[in-house]
Structure 1
Amino acid sequence: MSNGELPAALITAFAERPLQGNGAAVVALEQPASAPWMQAVAAQLRQSETAFLLPLSRLGSGDDAAGEWALRWFTPRCEVPLCGHATLASALALGHWGLLTSGASTRLHSRSGPLLVSLGQTGAGRAQLVLPSGGLEPSPLPTELAPSLGGTPLRSWRSALGYWVALLPQEFPLAGLDGDALAQDLRGELRQGLVLMQALAASDQTPTVQGLPADYQLRFLAPGLGISEDPVTGSAHALVAPWWCDQLGRERVVGWQPSPQGGGMVCDRLSSGMIRLSGSGQLLWDGRLSAGVDAGEAADWSCCRPVLG
């Protein structure tokens, strides 16, 4: 058990202004910590996700690992395999701590493989990350959800991430939806993640992200992960962005999330099939975490080791 204090920060990710976006706590570790310890910290910090960063060199990955990090994400209830907003927050936290310079890139090694992140050249608080998409498989939603959505969705899908996705007509009042109430009504597999999305018509009221008007908007509910509604969800946008690119006939789309906090991102489809998300973040607080790190036998970070060959 280590009694040292650890750098910690809270950053609101995918936020166009202060107190917008999705809060993520970021903790910089000096040695591998156990999953139960990280879960306990995440439960205390009570953000939708808490990110834990560990220098990759501490996993015995050699000199090639210099400047790269292992990354894990925990909701207040469980560990998750992928989280976009906490990855953006991690890049911004590294920049804030002087561990990643403006314009520089690094890889964060996770359960979902290596994730490339970079800080903006100009303009404080801007970063990019590259996420896998996962693909959508057409599938009808359970019929009991239809009344809450004003009828059967235009289209619906399932995904390898475990999320369900429903396309709603433009006239559906998605921004005014009571997300917490709907989350309480979700049953079965829908509780692991439900994306509700719709196209946005261009108007003076259309939200903008980094000066660009949003093409679509979505809400994300995941009570099974301990999150009634996630304010802004990078993994959900990375999942649906390719579909919107196909519909609009371009490789860049802008997504918005009209949750109570609100926020959005620019999504670029890369030739690799991965999705680059560009967004802004705001530092809310910066401090030290005083909690003895459990580095016992349960501190297994093999899930984040790079695959060689």
Structure 2
Amino acid sequence: MKIKIHVVDAFTNVRFKGNPAAVVITGKWLSDEKMQEIAAENNLSETAFLVEDDNGVFAIRWFSPLTEIDFCGHATLASAFVIFNENYQLPHITLFADSVGMMKVVRKDDGFIQMDFPNRTPTPVDDVPEALLAGLSIKPENILKNGQAYFAVYSDEDDVLSVIQDSDKLKTLAPYDVVVTAPGTQFDFVSRYFWPANGGDEDPVTGSIHTGLAPFWAKRLGKSKLMAYQASKRGGTLKCEVAGDRVLISGQAVSYLEGYITI
């Protein structure tokens, strides 16, 4: 059996930048074991699997090389990019995931794809895990947390760029990952994302965590529309807009590969 696969660089318009994701659209679900095996073989941050129902809604699941992930923004962007490219007449699509609910995705005139996600604002942490402080080479000013990750907040962009993570220590925070963030010089805020417990040492660009970063910085900076940069080696740019209990995350994408998986 042959199954079509796309690899897309998300949150960038430059190939080999942003975050690569594999996209696999099938008529019915493969087994959980087979999807995990494919994701491990791809060895990308995420592989997204999608199945379209009779109403045109795409159910989506995300797998890292290690495990199934509750929510992934960049693979959602990559999936929408593939669907739009194959269905030029569609102005928008709807995706569904158990952990996120319905997600409306719109193709904008400026070339960006806008995704509508739940607001996942982090809250302050009173009891900071020692492993978190020991796992970051620079001590953060504040620590917050949402259902996905700990937020280590710095006052200076250089700290985010310079901090070194100890993956062995951060791995013990599972199931939580760690995002480090600060105000930006060219962007409203910058971040980096460490996820040794769920995928790898550092994720190139993490759309999902911006559903927490955007509302945090929107309140701190007093503005609802923000430009963000995830400062990994590949780097990626995200437009963010906080709209009540929703966060709109927009990005660009570029195709890298089309091919077939043989099973």
Common fold: TM-score over 0.5:
yes
Q: Which residue of the partner structure matches residue 192 of structure 2?
A: 219
Q: Per-residue CA shift, 1:2-61, capped at 9, x if unaligned? A: x2x22210001001422110000000101221111111110101111000111122xxxx
Instruction: Name the residue aligned to 1:37.
Output: 34
Instruction: Check whether the contact 2:19–2:205 (CA below 8 A) recurs between aligned residues.
Output: yes
Cα displacement string for residues 55-99 of structure 1 (whole angstroms, at most 9, x for unaligned residues): 122xxxxxxx1x221111000111111000000000001122x23
Matched, 1:189 2:148: no
What does 1:124-163 correspond to in 2, within 5 Å? 126-139=112-125, 140-146=127-133, 149=136, 152-161=139-148, 163=149
Q: Does 1:114 align with 2:102?
A: yes
Task: Give the Cα–Cα distance (whole angstroms) in 2 for the partners of residues 178 and 167 of structure 1.
Answer: 14
Structure showing greater radius of gyration is 1
Cα RMSD for the two superposed structures: 1.9
> Is the Cα contact below 8 Å between 1:167 and 1:197 reproduced in 2?
yes
Distance 1:44 1:284 in 2: 17
Structure 1 counterpart of 2:58, one-letter code: W
**Residues 102-147 of structure 1, C-alpha deviations (whole Å, 9 max, x = no match):** 6x11111112211111223354xx3111111222121143245436
| Larger relative contact order, structure 1 or 2 (CA cutoff 8 Å, min sep 6) | 1
Instruction: Give the Cα separation in 1 of the matches to 2:31 and 2:210.
Output: 30
Q: Which residue matches 1:304?
A: none
Deviation at 1:216, TM superposition (A): 0.5
Q: Deviations over 1:237-271 (max 9, x none)?
A: 11110111111111101111110110120101124
Q: Which SS does the other structure have where 1:27 is aligned?
A: strand
Q: Which of residues 273, 285, 296 is equivalent to 2:257?
A: 285
Question: 167-176 or 245-254: which moved more?
Answer: 167-176
Match for residue 182 of structure 2? 198
Cα distance, 1:187 vs structure 2: 4.3
Once the two structures are TM-superposed, the CA of residue 151 in structure 1 deviates from its matched residue by 5.1
* Partner Cα separation in structure 2 for residue 289 and residue 48 of structure 1: 18
- Alpha-carbon distance in 1 for matches of 2:68, 2:233: 25
Whether 1:167 and 2:157 are equivalent positions in the alignment is no
Give the corresponding residue for 2:44: 47
The residue type paired with residue 193 of structure 1 is D
Which of these residues, 41, 57, 69, is aligned with residue 68 of structure 1?
A: 57
- Please point out which of 254, 257, 279 is paired with 2:227: 254
More strand by share: 2
> What CA distance in whole angstroms lies between the structure 2 residues aligned with 1:122 and 1:267?
15
Aligned to 2:16: 19
TM-score (norm 1): 0.79
Which 5+ residue runs of structure 1 have no aligned equivalent? 58-64, 207-213, 292-309
1:47 aligned counterpart, secondary structure? coil
- Identical amino acids, percent of aligned pairs: 29
- Rounded to whole Å, the distance in 1 between the matches of 2:93 and 2:247 is 16
2:236 pairs with 1:236: no
In 2, the alpha carbon distance for the partners of 1:40 and 1:92 equals 24
